[in-house]
Amino acid sequence: MSTAVLEVSELTVRFPVGAARLPVVDGVALRLERGKTLALVGESGCGKSMTALALMRLVPKPGRIEAGSIQLEGEEIRELPVAAMRKIRGGRIAMIFQEPMTSLNPVRRVGVQVVEAIRLHEKISRPDARRRAIELFERVGIADAPTRFETYPHQLSGGLRQRVMIAMAIATHPAVLLADEPTTALDVTIQAQILELLRELQRSEGTAILLITHDLGVVAESADRVAVMYAGRVVEEASCRELLRAPRHPYSRALLAAMPAAARPGARLAEIPGTVPPPAQWEQGCRFAPRCEFAVENCRQTVPPLLAFGAGRGVACPIVAAGPCP
Amino acid sequence: MIAFILRRLAFGAATVGGVLTFLFMLFFLYATPEDMARRALGDKAPPQAISTWIANHGYDRPLAWNPDAPADTLLVEHFRRSLSFDFGRSDADGMPIYQRIREGVGPSLALTLPLFVLGLLFSVALGLVVATFRDSYIDRAGLVLCVLTMSLSILLYIIGGQWLLGTVLRWFPVSGFDTDPAMLLRFVALPVLVGVFVSFGEQTRFYRTLFVEETSRDYVRTARAKGCGDGRVMWRHVLPNALIPIVTHVVVAIPLLFTGSILLESFFGIPGLGSMTVEAIHGNDFATLRAMVFLGSLLFIAAQIATDVLYTLLDPRIRLG
Ligand SMILES: Nc1ncnc2c1ncn2[C@@H]1O[C@H](COP(=O)(O)OP(=O)(O)OP(=O)(O)O)[C@@H](O)[C@H]1O
Ligand SMILES: [Mg+2]
């Protein structure tokens, strides 16, 4: 097993809501390896973005990381002072976001924004940084880089904007790239191009990627491993091939069954009965229990831990883990 | 861009026309020349005196319709004189109004310009600070200060300031004016101080809201993810974006600088346009009032156009044909 670039355990993020402190990310464990992609999947609101922001220590107020460990190349960064954390952000961990429309500063030229990313982390003159940034533009496949360099975000298409975001993110050769639904806002052909670009960059730079998505097609194409999240918790973690071939956790199964490609022609598209409960209504036991067809009384009482299920696989469901598949 | 400016100017011209029409209705139709004469001379004035007053002030023309000489009407005269800034003489003391305005602009600006600049810098800076440290004790201390200064009356600050800093501590003269620069500074300091104090609470809250709203935007998250610190996020990212609403807010206030501050000028004895307006109201000086209202509107319209043009310069997303 290769060494982990980023190892996260027991990560818990809480938001105070009224008197309660809701754990929107609850005891999450993740492991990113060099040159590998871990996909984080789950329905909207399950805490995927919050997990990624927590890794950067950028959880928006009044949320707070309340527990857990985040180890970047063996160094614990959860309690690191703010100044040291700033060097890591955009330096060793970079992030790209879902909305390339709004994620760039609208009143500054895109080139300047990439130059800023370089100069925040390296002592380098402005002209040199500019030259580097134009190289980066070419590297991420922006045609006519010197001209595009001088444009404002609103003058670029969504795909180009996302390329600018990627150029900004890889400017400092980060060890970890957090990609929060990088292609959701783009149309299908552009989506494929951006994913290909990320894969190509990963191959040449050895970047570890956390790919957040709720598109299992994207997972199948790009991920090495997959973590399935439900209501703030990781419920299953497996290699991409195994998970797609034989999902174990009842939620993973439901998620796969709901995927269009899984439905045979003419067959009715499966739906997961019920909806994701908002954090305020989470049960004390397994949070999927209310929607689960296999749930027994005990499921509603105790939180199921992530149990080993074969080699390199974990499932947070004692019923499934115990034995013959129901 | 040129076409846009021209279009705005055309709209501005139409608005000026509207203002003049409204003024005409107010001063010549609603309050007729005879009303004006009665107000100026008193109710018991003989008819003879009234018609003399009307003739002397040039109000004896037909209102808007004169078959013999179509141009010789009050309406045409009103438009012609206003648009050529030939405001004529004061109804009260016969002084040329133009000269009075020229004399009053200086003292007014000596008060309002520093008041404006200091107030702006102070409240934007404070707004940035409390927005940077929002939800901390610094923010709460700022809130208490702002609400405190906002909740007391301006009269209290004027009288309190004159008493404490002028009479008791003798740091500044209580009131008055002088054109000698050193003396001017001493006379203007207290009213400027009072003015900044009165307005900064509301202004700071306004800027804080603006900055806090801006910090919740996605590009701010990107800036943080790049490794920008709080200061850099505020200066290089939030401020340039917030500049757009700030400019709109600020430019609209600029014309009011020229017309002075009625309250501060009268309390501190500054012979500016604010004092002049108050005197004109007391002295039934309709010609001066008309001139002041017209100039105020003109400046306001000019500021609106300037705001729109600046808007397009500050925000690259706005492209106008
Ligand atoms: N300021 C806040 N106060 C309380 N709860 C919050 C706040 N911000 C986010 N949350 C909660 O955190 C949870 C996780 O949100 P997150 O954005 O991580 O979801 P996600 O999995 O990324 O969803 P999506 O697929 O829609 O992006 C949500 O249930 C949301 O209600
Ligand atoms: Mg999200």
Residues of B with CB under 8 A from a CB of A: 135, 217-219, 221-229, 236-237, 240-241, 243-244, 314-317
How many Cα atoms sit within 13 Å of A230 on the Cβ side?
30
Question: Atom 17, ligand 1: which residue's CA is nearest?
Answer: A49
- DSSP letter, residue A143: T
The yes-or-no verdict on residue B59 having pLDDT over 90 is no
B51 has pLDDT over 80: yes
Instruction: Give B223's pLDDT tier (boundaries 50, 70, 90).
Output: very high
CB B257 within 8 A of CB B109: yes
Q: Looking at the domain assignment, is residue B102 inside a domain? A: yes
- Has residue B263 been placed in a domain? yes
Quote the CA–CA distance of B302 and B257 in Å, as a whole number.
Answer: 13
What pLDDT does residue A268 have? 52
User: Ligand 1: which atom is nearest the Cα of residue A17?
Assistant: 4
Q: Which two tokens stand for residue B93?
A: 């003391």
What CATH number did the domain enclosing B268 receive? 1.10.3720.10
ipTM above 0.85, yes or no: yes
Angle between helices A110-119 and A158-170 (to 10 degrees): 20
**How many C-beta atoms lie closer than 10 Å to residue B43's C-beta?**
6
Look at A36-40, A321-325, B52-56 and tell me which has the smallest mean pLDDT: A321-325
Least confident of A15-19, B163-167, B214-218, B281-285: B163-167
A positions 174-213 inside 8 Å of B (CB) = none
**Do the domain assignments include residue B193?**
yes
In a domain, B209, yes or no: yes
Mean pLDDT of A174-194: 90
> With contact defined as beta carbons under 8 Å apart, do A162 and A194 qualify?
yes
Of A49, A98, A229, the residue with max ligand 1 atoms within 8 A of its CB, to mutate for a pocket test, comes to A49
Res. A322: pLDDT tops 80: no
Q: What is the pLDDT of residue A264?
A: 47
Confidence of residue B102 (pLDDT cuts 50, 70, 90): confident
Q: What is the pLDDT of residue A26?
A: 92
Helix (H) or strand (E) holding A8: strand A4-17
A62 contacts B227? CB cut-off 8 A:
no
- Indicate whether residue A68 lines ligand 1 (CB < 6 A): no
pLDDT at res. B192? 86
| Average pLDDT of span B261-280 | 85
Q: Quick one: pLDDT at residue A80? A: 94
A82 pLDDT higher than 70: yes
Subunit contact A106:B229, Cβ cutoff 8 A: no
The token pair that represents A67 in the structure block? 């527990």
3-class DSSP state of A93: strand
Give B54's pLDDT tier (boundaries 50, 70, 90): confident
Mean pLDDT of chain B: 84
Residue span of the structural domain in which B216 resides: 97-314
B223 to A105: CB separation less than 8 angstroms, yes or no: yes
Give the contacts of B11 (CB within 8 A, at least 6 positions apart).
Answer: none
How would you classify the pairing of strands A208-213 and A93-96? unpaired
Spell out the residues 6+ positions from residue B129 whose beta carbon is closer than 8 angstroms to its own.
B138, B142
Is the distance from CB of A255 to CB of A74 less than 8 angstroms?
A: no
Report the C-alpha gap between B283 and B293 in whole angstroms. Answer: 16
* Mean pLDDT computed over every residue of chain A: 88
Do the beta carbons of residue A95 and residue A52 sit within 8 Å? Answer: yes
Average pLDDT over residues A83-101: 92
If you search the block for the tokens 């004109």, which residue do you land on? Answer: B280
Residue of B nearest to A97 (CA): B222
Evaluate if residue A262 carries a pLDDT over 60. no
The number of folded domains in chain B is: 1
Instruction: Specify the higher pLDDT residue, B215 or B159.
Output: B215
Domain boundaries, chain A: 4-92+172-322, 104-170
In a 3-state reduction of DSSP, which class is residue A13?
strand
Question: For A9-157, where are the alpha helices, taking DSSP H only?
Answer: 48-55, 82-88, 110-119, 126-139, 145-149
Q: CA-to-CA distance for B101 and B73, rounded, in angstroms?
A: 26
Could you give phi then psi for residue A36, rounded to 5 degrees? -115, 155
Percentage of chain A lying above the pLDDT 90 cut: 61
pLDDT at A263: 44
Sequence-distant (≥ 6) Cβ neighbours of residue A167 within 8 angstroms: A114, A133, A136, A137, A139, A140, A142
Query: A127-160: per-residue pLDDT in tens?
Result: 999 999 999 999 899 999 999 999 999 999 999 9
Q: Which ligand is nearest to the CA of A214?
A: 1
A162 pLDDT band, cuts 50/70/90, is: very high
- What is the reported pLDDT for A151? 94
Predicted confidence (pLDDT) per residue in B136-169, tens digit: 889 899 899 888 888 888 888 888 877 877 777 7
Distance CA B63, CA B55 (A): 14
Which residue would you say has higher pLDDT here, B119 or B86? Answer: B119
Cα B187–B191–B196 angle (5° rounding)?
140
Closest CA to A115 of A100, A131, A133, A103: A133
pLDDT band at B72 (very low <50, low <70, confident <90, very high): confident
In a domain, B280, yes or no: yes
Band (pLDDT 50/70/90 cuts) for residue A240 is very high
Among candidate residues A150, A124, A126, the one with its CA nearest the CA of residue A137: A150
Highest mean pLDDT among A216-230, A273-287, B190-204, B282-296: A216-230
Is A314 a residue whose pLDDT tops 50?
yes
Q: How confident is the model at residue A261 (pLDDT cuts 50, 70, 90)?
A: low
B229: three-class secondary structure by DSSP: coil
Give, for A308, the enclosing helix (H) or strand (E): strand A307-308
CB contact under 8 A, A116 and B229: no
How many residues comprise chain B? 321
Inside any domain, residue B226:
yes
pLDDT of residue B321: 39
Binned at pLDDT 50, 70 and 90, residue B189 comes out as confident
Contact of B172 with B194, CB cutoff 8 Å = no
A52 Cα to the center of ligand 1, angstroms: 11
- DSSP character at residue B120: H
Query: What confidence score (pLDDT) does residue B206 get?
Result: 92
Q: Of the candidates A88, A102, A152, which has its C-beta nearest B217's C-beta? A: A102
CA distance A114 to chain B (A): 9
Q: Which of residues A237 and B261 earns the better pLDDT score?
A: A237
Find all residues with CB under 8 Å of A61, minimum gap 6, and list them: B135
pLDDT of residue B36: 79
- The answer to whether position B64 is within a domain reads no
Q: What is the C-alpha to C-alpha distance for residues A206 and A220, in angstroms, rounded to an integer?
A: 20
Give chain B positions within 8 Å (CB) of A120: 226-228
Among the listed residues B283, B297, B306, the one whose alpha carbon sits nearest the alpha carbon of residue B17: B297
* CATH annotation of A4-92+172-322: 3.40.50.300
CA distance B238 to chain A (A): 9
